[in-house]
Amino acid sequence: MTIDAWLRAAAARLNSESARLDAELLLTHLLGISRAALYARLRDTLAEDIVASADALLARRARGEPIAYITGVREFWFLPLKITSAVLVPRAETEVLVEQALARLPTDRDLRLLDLGTGSGAIALALAKERPRALVHAVDASAAALAIAQENAERLGLGNVRCALGDWFRALPDAPERALPPGLRFDLIAANPPYVAGDDPHLLQGDLRYEPRLALTPEGDGLSAIRRISADARAHLQAGGWLLLEHGHDQGAAVRQILSRDAYANIETIPDMEDRDRVTLGRWQG
């Protein structure tokens, strides 16, 4: 069987919008080559054992397992991140949060940044890469997730990231439950927290079935993590510091209301590339 024939058959078997791309990613992963190299070899014949291995990967994808869990890698903000089933697969929408954060972070001074619920480290590592003078704290309540974030930071040579295990702000080494002194406060706090409502049927469908429940939902109405982070961030932000929260496309108004009640200023919701509410931010006046 040629590479071209396998790709056509595989794409036909996968019932998704990204079927062809998924098939290509599985085969490039297995063959250890780039997509450009795959295209240069479309007429090559695949050995039988390779076809068998490729079919086994395809069967996993056809059952709904995310591609990143099968290949063990996902690119985020041009950084190749190691991914396992212990972490959420980083989403393209989250790059909107990174863009908004970078627009508020000067390049010419030292910064203290915090990424709450870091998972694979996606947000923390993107900020650490783009702002080498920043010290980026990355927090997660899952030890398995945090180990992946730490490994990604090391593999990418990002020495300005500090990982901390625990429940949101309680994970911070300096001042677990009280207000931080000004010198230790953060210039910006970013979070893509779990925000899906506990009874949302999507949790039992598609790729989400494979991702850690802790990463997807705080249970209840889906807003409890956002409420806590918004309330507690006030004691951890510099005067003039920013809080940026990713949320569901139907939660923009609710998150703006939470930030407003908590007395943030300059509250704004930024849409994703599909023009859906995605990131809400506010500035702590101190």
Ligand X SMILES: C[S@@+](CC[C@H](N)C(=O)[O-])C[C@H]1O[C@@H](n2cnc3c(N)ncnc32)[C@H](O)[C@@H]1O
Interaction site with ligand X (CB under 6 A):
87-88, 90, 94, 117-120, 122-123, 139-142, 145, 167-168, 192-194, 214-215
Closer to ligand X at the Cβ: 94 or 230? 94
Smallest gap, in angstroms, from Cβ of residue 55 to ligand X? 30
Query: Beta strand pairing status for 134-140 and 265-271?
Result: unpaired
- Looking up tokens 């036909």, which residue turns up? 12
- Concatenating the DSSP letter of every residue in 164-214 gives EESSGGGG-SS-SSSPPPGGG-EEEEEE----S-TT-GGGGSGGGGGS-HH
Closer to ligand X at the Cβ: 10 or 225? 225
Closer to ligand X at the Cβ: 101 or 215? 215
Smallest gap, in angstroms, from Cβ of residue 282 to ligand X? 19
Give CA 72 to chain center in angstroms: 15
Closer to ligand X at the Cβ: 54 or 152? 152
**Both tokens assigned to 23:** 């098939």
Distance CA 45, CA 47 (A): 7
Closer to ligand X at the Cβ: 168 or 264? 168
> Secondary structure of the chain: what % helix, strand, coil (to 5)?
45, 20, 35
Number of helical (H) and strand (E) elements in the chain, helices listed first: 11, 9
Smallest gap, in angstroms, from Cβ of residue 193 to ligand X? 6
Closer to ligand X at the Cβ: 90 or 282? 90
Closer to ligand X at the Cβ: 54 or 136? 136
| Cβ neighbours around 233 below 10 Å, total | 25
Distance CA 58, CA 62 (A): 6
Cβ neighbours for 163, distance < 8 A, ≥ 6 positions apart: 118, 121, 137, 138, 139, 140, 146, 149, 150, 153
Question: Rg of the chain's alpha carbons, rounded to an integer?
Answer: 21
Smallest gap, in angstroms, from Cβ of residue 225 to ligand X? 6
Smallest gap, in angstroms, from Cβ of residue 84 to ligand X? 12
Smallest gap, in angstroms, from Cβ of residue 134 to ligand X? 17
Smallest gap, in angstroms, from Cβ of residue 247 to ligand X? 10
